[in-house]
Amino acid sequence: DQQVKQNSPSLSVQEGRISILNCDYTNSMFDYFLWYKKYPAEGPTFLISISSIKDKNEDGRFTVFLNKSAKHLSLHIVPSQPGDSAVYFCAAWSNSGYALNFGKGTSLLVTP
């Protein structure tokens, strides 16, 4: 069963606007969350993370928000740039077990 869900397979945003990518999870044992970015023919690269003790983490144009009660997190990219066009994966660690659990990804297209 998919414990990390990214319900939007794709998103298109104009350059300069905000991109918001959403992620929901079902496992209450998840305590650390990460976003990865993937270009075609490359491996995923780490983007930003957040611990369950926080509700926001910011790094430059990227901000991740965590709502534990709703089991929901989101990635905001402001302003969006054409180079941000990629597939974004949400991932979560459980406080038990050794597998990083991934969603199916959201393909972001930033148009000029």
Partner 1 sequence: GAGVSQSPSNKVTEKGKDVELRCDPISGHTALYWYRQSLGQGLEFLIYFQGNSAPDKSGLPSDRFSAERTGGSVSTLTIQRTQQEDSAVYLCASSFRARGEKLFFGSGTQLSVL
Shortest distance, position 90 Cβ to partner 1, whole Å: 9
What whole-number distance in Å separates Cα of residue 87 and Cα of residue 105?
6
The stretch among 1-9, 22-30, 53-61, 63-71 that binds partner 1 (CB under 8 A) is 1-9
Can you state the percent helix, strand and coil of the chain, rounding each to 5?
5, 55, 40
Both tokens of 71, joined, read 């089991």
With binding defined as CB under 8 A, does residue 62 bind partner 1? Answer: no
Residue ranges that bind partner 1, judged by CB under 8 A: 2, 4, 6, 32, 34, 36, 41-46, 49, 89, 91, 93, 97-105
